[in-house]
Amino acid sequence: MAFVKKYNAIVVGTGSNASVASGGNLASATTYVSHGVPVCGAKMVVFRITATNSSQLQSAQVNFGEGANRNYGQGATAPDFFAAASVGCTNAGNVGTDPTKQGGLAYSAYANSGKFHYKFAQIQFLTNATTAFNGYVINAEVHYDTDADLCAAECGQQNYVMPTN
């Protein structure tokens, strides 16, 4: 059975922006990245950013990574099994151009092969050139085809046991 796993109030949180907490304000004209959410085995991830004032993102992208430091940023260089696609972001007329409305600004990525193989995904975005994001909240939805996909994703390590002599 397909289902969605939700991650609410994701903190903006690596590098120089680590002190910015969900629900606070995001300064204008600044690049932020979110904490990662587990996506291995999922078919789609959607990040949503809402705010209490009306503003728009300048740009956004979904990054994928893994390992101890997760090595985010591979989204732009590993298009073999996923495609990042914007849903409403900064394009006027699309759903979600106003972060105060339900759904907020959404950015999603789909697994071309059917399942993500990277362990984590984060959203990286550049806030509007002139307007802060007040009272922002980032949520994520990770869509799986089956329960088994989620279980496999959370197993993580694989062992390849060699035969006894």
Partner 1 sequence: MATITTNKFRQLLMTKNIDLVNDSGIKIMLFNSSYTPDKDHDFVSSITSGSSKELSGTGYTAGFGGSGRKTLASRAITRDDTADKVYFDAADVTYTALNAGTIGGAAIIKEVTSDSDSIIVAMLDPSDLVTNGSDVTIQFAADGIVNLT
For residues 16 to 45, the per-residue mask of contacts with partner 1, x marking binding by CB under 8 A and - elsewhere, is ------------------------xx----
* Shortest Å distance, C-beta 149 to partner 1: 10
Alpha-carbon span 29 to 6, nearest angstrom: 28
Span near partner 1 by CB under 8 A; candidates 4-12, 13-21, 140-148, 151-159: 151-159
Alpha-carbon span 84 to 131, nearest angstrom: 26
**27/148 with CB nearer partner 1:** 148
Q: What single-letter amino acid sits at 93?
A: G
Residue 62 · residue 108 · CB < 8 Å: yes
Does position 160 interact with partner 1 (CB under 8 A)? The reply is yes
Alpha-carbon span 111 to 100, nearest angstrom: 29
Question: In the range 53-92, which residues lie near partner 1 by CB under 8 A?
Answer: 66-67, 78, 80-81
Alpha-carbon span 75 to 2, nearest angstrom: 25
What phi and psi values does residue 155 have, to the nearest 5 degrees? -70, -35
> Binding residue for partner 1 (CB under 8 A) from 87, 95, 126, 152?
152
Please name the residue ranges forming H helices in 31-87. Answer: none
Alpha-carbon span 42 to 155, nearest angstrom: 13
* Shortest Å distance, C-beta 67 to partner 1: 6
Question: In the range 104-123, which residues lie near partner 1 by CB under 8 A?
Answer: 115-119
**51/150 with CB nearer partner 1:** 150
Which residues are at the interface with partner 1 (CB under 8 A)? 40-41, 66-67, 78, 80-81, 115-119, 152, 155-165
